[in-house]
Structure 1
Amino acid sequence: MLTSKEIQALRPRERRYQITDQGGLALRVQRSGVKSWVLRVPQNGRVIDITLGHWPEISLMQARALARRKKRELELEPSGSYTLRDAFKFWCSKKKGRISSYRDEKLRLEKYVISRLGSRQLDSITPPVLIKLLEPVEEAGKLSTVKRLLMRVREIFDLAVNAGFLQANPLSKITKVFPVPEVRHMPAPDWKELPVVISQVERLAPPKYKSLFYFSLATLLRPGEVVSVRLEWISEEAITVPAEFMKMKRTHRVPLTPYLIALIQEAKEIRKNKRSPYLFPATNKNRHISGQALAKWLHGKPEFKNRLVAHGLRSIGRGWFADNDVPFEIAEAALAHLVGSQVVRAYQRGDYFAPRQKIMLSWHAYIQSCAQCAQVLSQKPDSTGSSD
């Protein structure tokens, strides 16, 4: 079987020659250096050559797909061609670094689809094949997983069509087969309930999770962004998170306040791995703790289960902004959301840092007042007369 590197390295000779690939496909090299794909097939008791096109206009994978299609038209034994795994690799090469959820999407596809159908010819995968594969996932109640898998598999097939490996996408209407998943917002209490939440955190959380909770609440960063914070990103004015670590791939600054500075100092003091460059380091490795650390801790406590998740802290902050007359653009900037159309963002490139400094002072003052209320709540006796 040929490879792309071998084809590129082929040079013209005094006479025309050809190099075979598989299933009758060959690459013919002319004296002029022109490289043509030909398919050698039996017809009417003799062997004929069918020209498929020139290289590099038609790549190796495209030529194999064309050869398979031509042999099918001639009712000959189909040869090996472009597989779903080939198409998946092509999708990976185009999407890596371009979609924020690339790693999760890739792992999901590998687990549910590529591991089962990866070796199959792309043109042999029909809607009934994929429907049968995903029905158990639907029966397990994972409708969101089914939705994302269908979206990405359709995307893989669309890329294959654009690359010339398929004439049309047979899966273009397949999403109509499965029910639309019900959208459920992540659980988070109202911002007015924050004193109760903090009192429970103070009572239940060990120092590491308590520090992680307060830092997440104060910065309103996403869980993965929180744990990625490095000490070198902290200046006298702000925590500056580089674009590649942000979901929206845009540099984000969190204004420092006296309260946030105190939280950072506390986080530094309780670190066990003092040499780590991360504010929240893993214990024995030169890496940060898991982005799911706080989420798992909250999920494991009956007081928070189905009531609060780590991402829900951002919802608490956003609700407080809305009810305290914080302008929409400034509130969205505090959560590192993109606002407006692409044209608007092309002109409006500021991050509202100065007004956010004032807003964060007020937000942090509210957190501190909730902590004081939490101390009062924790000192109230319960129905049995004991202290909470």
Structure 2
Amino acid sequence: MTKATRFLTDQFIKKSTPQAKEYKIGDGQNLHLLVKPNGSKLWLFIYTHPTTKARKKINIGQYPYISLAKAREQRNSFHTLLTEGIDPTEHKAQSHQEAMRQAETLFNFAETQWKPKKAKEVKKRTLDDEYARLKLHLFPLFGHYRLADITLLEAVEKLRPLSITRNSTCSKVVIYFCEIMEYAVICGLLPHNPLYSLSKAFYKVQATHQPTIQPSELPEFLSRLQNSRIMPTTKLLIQWQLLTMVRPAEAVSAEWSEIDFDNALWAIPPEKMKGKKDKPRQHIVPLSSQALAILHEMRLFNGDKKHVFTSQRKPSQPCNSEAANRAITVNIDKGYYKGRLTSHGMRSIASTYLNDCGYNKDLIEACLAHISGDSVRNAYNKSTYLTLRRELMQKWGDYVAECKAHG
């Protein structure tokens, strides 16, 4: 029930007593005071939607916390909107969203919107590595900044020290910083990306190849490895990676369930391979007799475990992907190979030797799990060419065995 419209006064409002049912007292121009049975009094603005003509109401607030004068002021602002064909409720919601957008910080946006979107595009391991880099180098500088407050000049100034000390890391941070800001534009939080040209502010270090040695130096390397005090399982890991020509992370992730001993094959699942998440690819490794021998030795250590090469501290997990590299660069003859060879660089030894032997380059690239836009080269990864790849891998295994014998 709405009582007759009249111009309200504070004195009249204070004398308005609660009844068994709530009732409204009009103040004119769509402003009403709702008196509830419990004695509370609420200001309501009841109006007709300018387009749909539906009846709507807005709760302005409770009296006396919202005074009569304040309620009338709010009513007048609503009428101003209505004369312009704007619904006050929708305008309020849009204003709130705009305020939220203006207050959005870089870290909160990256955490709640960019990261979930990125997780659908790249592999978890890749995202974890990149996000850890942002937490370490970007968020301490700009994480608390509102997106709207980030400027190109300040980004350059704050990232310059990192570009001087760790240029490669800075380049990666800049790429993702710009990507986050670009996604903010797409989400409607920014009118444009102020960091569009940020990468041009820093010089780029030319890409360098992983340090490696020549195939002729392999006998010496294997001899130094054999005579070192490195753990037996780590020595076997290094030889496993050398023989299979895989990357360090792929080598340590090998599981017994992936090994087909009858057919001498190792099937590496797509999620373990380097590459984009939307283009997963399995990699089949033909195992030479020397690689199979490594597995038989490892069965004595980890035959009852999930992984072929397990972590000493956490037997249910594979060992660290840096284990082989650390052993090569630090533990062999007190760092003899530091700057000369890395675990990843062992792939180049195999590539150089097989190319020198005259094998098809595309076949070698397939054994290295290199994928290109060349359909002919990529075809070598398929089972049709497994016989050719098996021959190549055995040739390499025989050479490694020869080097080991004469080292």
Say which of 207, 211, 218 aligns to 1:187: 211
Aligned to 1:212: 237
Aligned to 2:181: 157
Distance, in Å, in 1 between the alignment partners of 2:308 and 2:213 is: 27
> Structure 2 vs 1, CA of residues 104 and 267 (structure 1 numbering), >3 Å: closer, same or farther?
same
Query: Which string of whole-angstrom CA distances, capped at 9 and with x for unpartnered residues, describes residues 339-379 of structure 1?
Result: 325x77898872532210111110100000100110xxxxx
Instruction: Report how far residue 121 of structure 1 moved.
Output: 0.9
Asked if residue 295 in structure 1 is aligned to residue 325 in structure 2, the reply is yes
Distance, in Å, in 2 between the alignment partners of 1:191 and 1:85 is: 48
Unaligned runs of 5+ in 2: 1-53, 61-72
Unaligned runs of 5+ in 1: 1-13, 21-41, 69-78, 375-388
Distance, in Å, in 1 between the alignment partners of 2:396 and 2:366 is: 14
Contact 1:207 1:270 in 2 (8 A): no
> Structure 2 vs 1, CA of residues 311 and 17 (structure 1 numbering), >3 Å: closer, same or farther?
farther
Instruction: Report how far residue 86 of structure 1 moved.
Output: 3.1
Contact 2:284 2:381 in 1 (8 A): no
Instruction: Report how far residue 63 of structure 1 moved.
Output: 6.8
TM-score, normalised to structure 2, is 0.72
Aligned to 2:310: 281
Task: Give the letter aligned to residue 369 of structure 1.
Answer: E
> Structure 2 vs 1, CA of residues 88 and 288 (structure 1 numbering), >3 Å: closer, same or farther?
same
Say which of 256, 263, 274 aligns to 2:294: 263
Instruction: Report how far residue 178 of structure 1 moved.
Output: 1.0
Distance, in Å, in 2 between the alignment partners of 1:18 and 1:347 is: 67
Query: Which string of whole-angstrom CA distances, capped at 9 and with x for unpartnered residues, describes residues 68-124 of structure 1?
Result: 7xxxxxxxxxx8522212331222112115234222111111111123322211010
Aligned to 2:117: 94
Distance, in Å, in 1 between the alignment partners of 2:95 and 2:130 is: 29
- Bigger Rg, which one: 2
Cα RMSD over matched residues? 3.1
> Structure 2 vs 1, CA of residues 19 and 269 (structure 1 numbering), >3 Å: closer, same or farther?
farther
Distance, in Å, in 2 between the alignment partners of 1:81 and 1:98 is: 27
Distance, in Å, in 2 between the alignment partners of 1:145 and 1:65 is: 36
Asked if residue 84 in structure 1 is aligned to residue 106 in structure 2, the reply is yes
Asked if residue 307 in structure 1 is aligned to residue 340 in structure 2, the reply is yes
Report % sequence identity: 27
Asked if residue 175 in structure 1 is aligned to residue 199 in structure 2, the reply is yes
Distance, in Å, in 1 between the alignment partners of 2:371 and 2:87 is: 48
Aligned to 1:3: none
> Structure 2 vs 1, CA of residues 97 and 241 (structure 1 numbering), >3 Å: closer, same or farther?
farther
Aligned to 1:16: 56
Give runs of aligned pairs for residues 118-133 of structure 1, distance below 5 A: 118-133=143-158
Query: Which string of whole-angstrom CA distances, capped at 9 and with x for unpartnered residues, describes residues 170-220 of structure 1?
Result: 111111111111322110011221111111111113312210111000111
Query: Which string of whole-angstrom CA distances, capped at 9 and with x for unpartnered residues, describes residues 244-265 of structure 1?
Result: 1111231111112322111101
> Structure 2 vs 1, CA of residues 63 and 178 (structure 1 numbering), >3 Å: closer, same or farther?
farther
Distance, in Å, in 2 between the alignment partners of 1:196 and 1:242 is: 34
Contact 2:163 2:171 in 1 (8 A): no
> Structure 2 vs 1, CA of residues 180 and 279 (structure 1 numbering), >3 Å: closer, same or farther?
same
Give runs of aligned pairs for residues 1-388 of structure 1, distance below 5 A: 16-17=56-57, 46=77, 66-67=98-99, 81-89=103-111, 90-100=113-123, 101-140=126-165, 142-204=166-228, 205-235=230-260, 236-237=262-263, 238-248=265-275, 249-271=280-302, 274-285=303-314, 286-300=316-330, 301-341=334-374, 350=382, 352-374=385-407
Task: Give the letter aligned to residue 319 of structure 2.
Answer: I
Contact 1:231 1:279 in 2 (8 A): yes
> Structure 2 vs 1, CA of residues 132 and 191 (structure 1 numbering), >3 Å: closer, same or farther?
same
Contact 1:65 1:82 in 2 (8 A): no
Distance, in Å, in 2 between the alignment partners of 1:241 and 1:317 is: 19
Instruction: Report how far residue 162 of structure 1 moved.
Output: 1.4
Contact 1:223 1:310 in 2 (8 A): yes
> Structure 2 vs 1, CA of residues 259 and 345 (structure 1 numbering), >3 Å: closer, same or farther?
closer
Instruction: Report how far residue 165 of structure 1 moved.
Output: 1.3
Q: Secondary structure at the match of 1:217?
A: helix
> Structure 2 vs 1, CA of residues 346 and 97 (structure 1 numbering), >3 Å: closer, same or farther?
farther
Instruction: Report how far residue 234 of structure 1 moved.
Output: 0.5
Q: How many residues align?
A: 321
Distance, in Å, in 2 between the alignment partners of 1:290 and 1:80 is: 43
Query: Which string of whole-angstrom CA distances, capped at 9 and with x for unpartnered residues, describes residues 5-52 of structure 1?
Result: xxxxxxxxx9535699xxxxxxxxxxxxxxxxxxxxx99x95665969
> Structure 2 vs 1, CA of residues 309 and 174 (structure 1 numbering), >3 Å: closer, same or farther?
same
TM-score, normalised to structure 1, is 0.75
Distance, in Å, in 2 between the alignment partners of 1:289 and 1:109 is: 25
